[in-house]
Structure 1
Amino acid sequence: MNSETMTSIMKARQVRKRRFVLTTSILIVMTIALCVAMLMLGNTIYPVKDVLSVLLGNDVKGATFAVGTIRLPRMLAGLLTGFAFGVGGYVFQTMLRNPLANPNVIGVTAGSSAAAVFCIIVLHASNTVVSIASVVGGLVTTLCIYFLAKGASFSIGRLILIGIGIQAMLNAVISYLMLIGKTHDLPTALRWLSGSLNGAKMETMYPLMIAVVIFTPLLMMFSKRLEMLELGEEMSSSLGVDTNKTRLVLIICAVLLIALATAVTGPIAFVAFLAGPIAKRLVGSNFSALIPAGLIGVILVLAADLIGQFAFTARYPVGVVTGIIGAPYLIYLLIRINRKGDI
């Protein structure tokens, strides 16, 4: 390889690196701006100085309760769940080499939802029990899907089809539970199923906060192997990747993030589905879009929540707004894949 070729390769790499850094920086700025907007906006609009004063622990008349007790937990819930859904969705889509292979489609969130609705409708359980059941339900469902799909050799197509089948079954269970539920339990279940930041409490977010802090660096360590899995089973193995071990670690990390996020806010529609493809388009090739996908997830959740609160005469949960945004993209993606002959 001559010096000119090496120089052109290095220049192209520098261009891609600058694109990655610039894109990630813009996403961080947008995330900070939305976090500030979440703290400032409401029935009463507080200036930045009052918000900062409350965050520093000072007592500001009116702002202390509104910002510290209501808006701060809501903002943190959106920040953490958006990041978890974005990262989890990106891991699934990249690992399974299919944009449709996100937790909403293959049954992971349906498992969490079914467990939570059962606790609300049948057991009349507390919020803590509902959150724990949601996490356990998501994990059990994912393990069932994974081991059913594994067979003699792992198959991406088999995993997606089994996941869609289990999702349909669990959605039928949810529908049945809603039919037999008592009238006073239904609003709670419906609010949970729609995905909402309303009533977010700091104490419910600590497990998710710990999971984000632990699993994000771990997923970053596995990011190179994750990108290799996108090349296919045989190519990944030839490059020295233990595909079964790597896939299991990635699935456990991603599912725990998604299940814990679902336990906090409910299944916010399409965030895990949209974040990865958007991040990949913005970042380009040669660099992992893991962190940008998490930031896109945060931006989607916080922006959708602000739209749901202030853009209409009535207030809508964040999951309703993300569903409106995500459904047309899903239709577009299905049409595009069908034209290519991939399904």
Structure 2
Amino acid sequence: MSVVLIGTGDYDIPPLDVVRTLFGGGTVAQDFIVNELRLPRVLVGLLVGAALGLAGAVFQSLTRNPLGSPDVIGFGQGSAAGALTVIVLLDGGTTAVSVGAVVGGLFTGLAVYVLAWRRGIHGYRLVLVGIGASSMLFAVNGYLLTKAKMLDAARALTWVTGSLNGRDWDQVWPLLVSCAVLMPVAFWYGRPLRMMEMGDDSAHALGVPVERTRFVLMLTAVLLTASAAAAAGPLAFISLVAPQIARRLTRAPGPNLLPSALMGAVLLITADWAAQRAFGADQLPVGVLTGVLGGVYLLWLLATERRAGRI
């Protein structure tokens, strides 16, 4: 799929020519299109999808709730608020916007954690506090857009929608470093996380430092979400859908961290390919497509959970 996506665009390149170009055998034009324009976009899509899929798996396991994903409980909106603050109030550049997104997501995560704390963190309480925070931040973001100048508003709206258009190596390297640091931390805590799915008391009896493990995993997942948002905007529903599809495909118990990361990467680049090809000359930002499809999935999930008597 990645090779097909690299070859997709106004100037189509056959898959064999894409592979040849990646190994240094293409023409000068193909080398520029593949290595400078399209390869960074695909790499950002893969890394963002993997980061969101992994973050979603961590939060859904911690909350023991299929709705406990970063985009539902407000961390994407927090990153958007940080980025919009930089764009609208500080007139910052690309790097400043990325830093603002990370800071906004991290601050939102810490605020939700503190507000949800009551002699520990309960999954449903975390989800409810996060949904409330998301609603408040959505209103703040709307207010910031009304205060922006015309050019700043257009720039901010493009970022908030979520898109892989125009991504280059300046977005690849910081995101790659973040994933290289944060993903091993999440995988390292995979076994304690699986024990925590049985309940805090059971995990504590098995020797898991429950609160420390929960805090480290939440911090890791929040940073993964914020780093992904800094690179591509707050893409909706990847972190909600990817872990659940991965769990259904593997039919394995536990958090399924690696399958969720892989599924997130596959979902995002597939959605990006569809956004480029399914609507003719009018390419959609990939965030629009993931939002529509994710919204349909969320409605189906809510109906399923209601029929099962869990909500």
Q: Give the structure-1-normalised TM-score.
A: 0.87
**Cα separation, 1, equivalents of 2:82 and 2:263:** 28
Q: How far is 1:105 from its partner?
A: 1.0
**Cα separation, 1, equivalents of 2:83 and 2:159:** 8
Given the alignment of the two structures, is residue 76 of structure 1 paired with residue 28 of structure 2, yes or no?
no
**Cα separation, 2, equivalents of 1:302 and 1:107:** 24
Identify if the C-alpha distance between structure 1 residues 188 and 173 changes in structure 2 by more than 3 Å, giving closer, same or farther. same
Amino acid at match of 2:224: L
Given the alignment of the two structures, is residue 195 of structure 1 paired with residue 195 of structure 2, yes or no?
no
Given the alignment of the two structures, is residue 90 of structure 1 paired with residue 60 of structure 2, yes or no?
no
**Cα separation, 1, equivalents of 2:44 and 2:306:** 37
1:277-297 per-residue CA deviation (whole Å, 9 max, x = no partner) reads 100111112465111111111
Listed as ranges, the gaps of 5+ residues in structure 2 are none
Identify if the C-alpha distance between structure 1 residues 288 and 107 changes in structure 2 by more than 3 Å, giving closer, same or farther. closer
1:184 counterpart SS class: helix
The one of 294, 298, 309 aligned to 1:330: 298
**Cα separation, 1, equivalents of 2:123 and 2:162:** 28
**Cα separation, 2, equivalents of 1:150 and 1:297:** 29
2:151 counterpart SS class: coil
1:125 counterpart SS class: coil
Which aligned segments of 4 or more residues in structure 1 are displaced greater than 4 angstroms?
A: none
1:100-131 per-residue CA deviation (whole Å, 9 max, x = no partner) reads 01001111111100110111122111010000
Percent identical pairs in the alignment equals 41
Q: Which has the higher mean CA deviation after the structures are superposed, 137-146 or 198-207? A: 198-207
1:226-266 per-residue CA deviation (whole Å, 9 max, x = no partner) reads 11111111121122111101101111111111110100000
Given the alignment of the two structures, is residue 131 of structure 1 paired with residue 115 of structure 2, yes or no?
no
Matches within 5 A, 1:197-216: 197-216=164-183
Matches within 5 A, 1:242-321: 242-286=209-253, 288-313=255-280, 314-321=282-289
The one of 65, 77, 84 aligned to 1:117: 84
Q: How far is 1:56 from its partner?
A: 3.0
Given the alignment of the two structures, is residue 169 of structure 1 paired with residue 140 of structure 2, yes or no?
no
| Contact persistence 2:4–2:15 (CA under 8 A) | no
**Cα separation, 2, equivalents of 1:222 and 1:288:** 11
Q: How far is 1:48 from its partner?
A: 3.5
Matches within 5 A, 1:42-53: 42-53=9-20
Q: Give the structure-2-normalised TM-score.
A: 0.95
Given the alignment of the two structures, is residue 41 of structure 1 paired with residue 41 of structure 2, yes or no?
no
Listed as ranges, the gaps of 5+ residues in structure 1 are 1-33
Larger of the two Rg values belongs to structure = 1
Q: How far is 1:52 from its partner?
A: 3.1
Q: How many corresponding residue pairs?
A: 310
1:197-223 per-residue CA deviation (whole Å, 9 max, x = no partner) reads 001021222222112122222222211
Identify if the C-alpha distance between structure 1 residues 110 and 287 changes in structure 2 by more than 3 Å, giving closer, same or farther. closer
**Cα separation, 2, equivalents of 1:328 and 1:46:** 34
2:274 counterpart SS class: helix
